[in-house]
Amino acid sequence: MRYRVKSGKIHARINGEMKLYRPGDIITLDPDDVAGFKDLLEQLEPDAPPPQPKAGLKAVHVGAGKYNVVNETTRKKINDKLLTKEEAAALVEAGTSEADPDLTKEPDRDVIPRVTGG
């Protein structure tokens, strides 16, 4: 990330080396390296957008050999009835809703089992 020194001198140890930066100097540093004197710097490049979560499907075992297929982002099931392991695996392998547009509807309840106790 590129920064410009706004005002004042900055004495900084970057990568084990002590350096002096003066007002107007343009420096390239990792965002983690500027935490202590970030108020003295002007950021020249916009922040990178946050990484998009990978939307994927996951088969969740609900007991008795039956499975639900769950959207990992919304944590909602996409199937209407319980599936066998093979059916759930085929649906996960097919990917998102490209195989069947009706799979995008979201049910009213969360279906990922919660384990409590020890």
64-74 pLDDT, tens digit per residue, is: 899 999 888 78
Residue 81's domain spans which residues? 57-104
Q: Indicate whether 64 belongs to any domain.
A: yes
Q: Give me the sign of the Cα torsion angle 100, 52, 68, 85.
A: positive
Q: Indicate whether 52 belongs to any domain.
A: no
Indicate the pTM of the whole model.
0.39
Q: Across residues 77-102, what is the average pLDDT? A: 76
pLDDT at 52: 57
pLDDT at 107: 47
Q: Across residues 60-89, what is the average pLDDT? A: 89
- Work out how many domains the chain is built from and give that number: 2
CA–CA separation, 27 vs 24, rounded Å?
9
